[in-house]
Chain A
């Protein structure tokens, strides 16, 4: 795991896959918010947030997930490859239904 958060987005087979890494604290989320939401708005197919390399999420990341969920709909949005510490956080928050 790296402490420096990064976001990489790629479109494959019409799916937008946003791969996050590191510690997604409030500042990191704020730094990627505009770019992320613009890509989500432009997406025509499924949107996937890949959290394989994420070890911490802040409240703001929940908001990004909820915004994306609302924008593209439950059937087109998924969170994938969640590590146990972060899965626990989603479970406590009651947001684990977004995880596939």
Chain B
């Protein structure tokens, strides 16, 4: 059970549907016991799964993947463990509204190659917390580690009497099979984290979907910022797992008055500034000009490895490759999202010019995702946030760790970051358990007294405009 090496979509969905039915009977205590067990089992295997993921994908750093696994289990569990997700979750006697949480039904979870074990455990925890069976669809280049993570979760869940087939997984599905699952009438939701094509397919399937958009995170270092601190924080994020988190910084935009100090701080932390020729060489290995996307070859590789791939060498301890750029767009490949330790670098005359540059970057493939600012001027922070189109505007924070939440701020810990309608999504939230519920409302009779007293025949009088009706509607006598 649970596993579907070769599978029939109908049988897969029948199992998931039956699991959903059994799940619907569980109370909060039974549900929470399952979630606790799964969190503990996943957390216990955080190092082994991280090593597996690194060995299988050859991306990132296994030590950082351990932290991702810890975030996906410990932090996510901390965030959701006390949340009511079964039965009556809110009772407002005064308003006469009682809210009842109901599960959605089977969820199809698409898992990316960049976070192949952490995303499995995260999605599984939030699905089980809401009594939804989950079907894991790993990336084909990370199938073994993703399936192992799912298996660990499933065994722990079964040991606490979770429904059979509450966690299933599929292996190496064809595009047609994936589409057949996504379009199946018994599927309740596609939880899509992955490449743009897959996310678009999820939204096109006819089944409700929670997807993510692409990121292209600008970082504005404003004139009141501490340059050394900003650089330290940015590099902490951009080098984390070799930049594989989609919320990691893509471009530094610095006010000119701070440029020298920022450059010095970057060099002090082993950033390597690319020459024009080296920038072109890196573009060729990191960006596919035909497809207008980053290459998988560069994804999650170290700065030194990318330089080697590009045909030149940098010191082995190089933290990031910095590409000083003038423009933004398709003809400037490194101004796009690259999930690797490569940063575009812009120096702008003043705050307005810097914000404009950030807007260019934001609207060049990163709409709705994340923006970052380092500043000690609250007005500047607010102005920046009002102008960016981003679900998360992180302040004085490494953006990867900041956007995923739970570590450096109080955003919900999540490996699925909504990007709003600009990113083709329905929400800008960090997706978590509360998004996987149908909330039913008992609405007891609580008449609107103003409406009850109001003379409804006035609506028939065409001479009365909206202001006149409003006066009558709000009349006290």
User: Which residues of A line the B interface, CB within 8 A?
Assistant: 25-26, 56-60, 62, 85, 88-95
Q: How distant is B17 from chain A, measured CB to nearest CB, in Å?
A: 6
Kindly report which residue of chain B lies nearest to residue A25, judged by CB atoms.
B161
B25 CB-CB contact with A under 8 Å: yes
Complex Cα spacing A56 to B30, Å: 13
Q: Are A89 and B21 in contact (CB under 8 A)?
A: yes
Q: B9 CB to closest chain A CB, in angstroms?
A: 15
Interface residues of B in 1-26 (CB under 8 A from A): 14, 17-22, 24-25
CB closest residue in chain A, given B13: A94
- Whether B165 sits at the interface, judged by CB under 8 Å, is yes
How far, in whole Å, are A60 and B18 apart by their CA atoms in the complex?
Answer: 10
Chain B: residues with Cβ within 8 Å of the partner, total of 15
Given A25-B161, A26-B161, A59-B163, A93 contacting B20 (CB threshold 8 A): yes
Give the docked Cα–Cα distance between A57 and B23 (Å).
10
CA distance A25 to B26 in the complex (A): 11
Beyond contacts A90-B21, A91-B21, A92-B105: 15 other A-B pairs, Cβ-Cβ < 8 A, are: A25-B161, A56-B25, A58-B22, A58-B164, A59-B163, A59-B165, A62-B18, A88-B24, A89-B25, A92-B17, A92-B21, A93-B17, A93-B20, A94-B17, A95-B21
Which residues in chain B, 425-476, are within 8 Å of chain A measured between CB atoms? none
- By a CB distance below 8 angstroms, the chain B residues around A94 are 14, 17, 186
Q: Kindly report which residue of chain B lies nearest to residue A86, judged by CB atoms.
A: B25
Chain B residues with CB under 8 Å of A88's CB are: 24
Interface residue SS majority, chain A: helix
Interface CB pairs A-B, < 8 A, 30? A25-B161, A26-B161, A56-B25, A57-B25, A58-B164, A59-B18, A59-B19, A59-B22, A59-B163, A59-B164, A59-B165, A60-B164, A62-B18, A62-B22, A88-B24, A89-B21, A89-B22, A90-B21, A91-B21, A92-B20, A92-B21, A92-B24, A92-B105, A93-B18, A93-B22, A94-B14, A94-B17, A94-B186, A95-B18, A95-B21
Residues of A within 8 A of B161 (CB): 25-26
Quote the shortest CB–CB distance from A79 to chain B (angstroms): 14
Give chain B residues whose Cβ lies under 8 Å from the Cβ of A90.
21
Residues in A with CB closer than 8 Å to B165 are: 59
CA distance A88 to B24 in the complex (A): 9
CA distance A57 to B24 in the complex (A): 11
The 7 closest A-B pairs by CB, nearest first: A93-B21, A59-B164, A92-B21, A89-B21, A93-B18, A59-B22, A62-B18
- A residues in contact with B163, CB < 8 Å: 58-59
Query: A94 vs B186: C-alpha distance in the bound complex, in angstroms?
Result: 9
C-alpha spacing A85/B25, complex, angstroms: 8
A62 to B18, CA, bound (A): 8
Instruction: Specify the chain A residue showing the minimal Cβ separation from B19.
Output: A59
Chain B residues within CB distance 8 Å of chain A: 14, 17-22, 24-25, 105, 161, 163-165, 186
Q: Chain A: which residue is nearest B23 at the CB level?
A: A92
Which residues of A sit under 8 angstroms from B18, Cβ to Cβ?
59, 62, 93, 95
Could you tell me the distance in whole angstroms from the C-beta of B99 to the nearest C-beta in chain A?
Answer: 19
Report Cα–Cα, A26/B159, bound state, in Å.
12
Chain A residues within 8 Å of B25, by CB? 56-57, 85, 89
Most buried by B among A59, A88, A90: A59
Residues of A within 8 A of B186 (CB): 94
Count chain A CB atoms within 10 A of each CB in B17, B25, B161 and give the residue with the most.
B25
- Closest chain B residue to A26, Cβ basis: B161
Q: How far is the CA of A46 from the CA of B18 in the complex (A)?
A: 25
* CB proximity of A18 to chain B, nearest CB, Å: 20
Smallest beta-carbon distance B37→chain A, Å:
16
Contacts of A60 in B (CB 8 A): 164
Across the interface, which residues of A come within 8 angstroms of B20, CB to CB? 92-93
Q: For A91, what are the chain B residues with a Cβ–Cβ distance below 8 Å?
A: 21
Q: In this complex, what residue of A is CB-closest to B163?
A: A59
A21 to chain B, nearest CB (A): 16
A83 CB to closest chain B CB (Å) equals 12
Instruction: Determine the residue in chain B with the shortest Cβ distance to A93.
Output: B21
B84 CB to nearest A CB, Å: 20
Q: Write out the residue numbers on chain B whose beta carbons fall within 8 Å of the beta carbon of A93.
A: 17-18, 20-22
Complex Cα–Cα for A94 and B21 (A): 9
**What chain B residues lie within 8 Å of A62 (beta carbons)?**
18, 21-22
Give B18's nearest chain A residue, CB to CB: A93
In the complex, what's the smallest C-beta–C-beta distance from B66 to chain A, in angstroms?
34
Q: Which residue of A lies closest to B186 (CB)?
A: A94
Please indicate the chain A residues that have their CB under 8 angstroms from the CB of B17 in the complex. Answer: 92-94
On chain A, the residues within 8 Å of B19 by CB distance are 59
Complex CA gap A93/B17 in Å reads 5
Closest beta carbon of chain B to A62's beta carbon, Å: 5
Please indicate the chain B residues that have their CB under 8 angstroms from the CB of A95 in the complex: 18, 21
Evaluate contact between B164 and A89: CB separation under 8 angstroms. no
Closest to A85 in B: B25
Chain A residues closer than 8 Å to B105, beta-carbon distance = 92
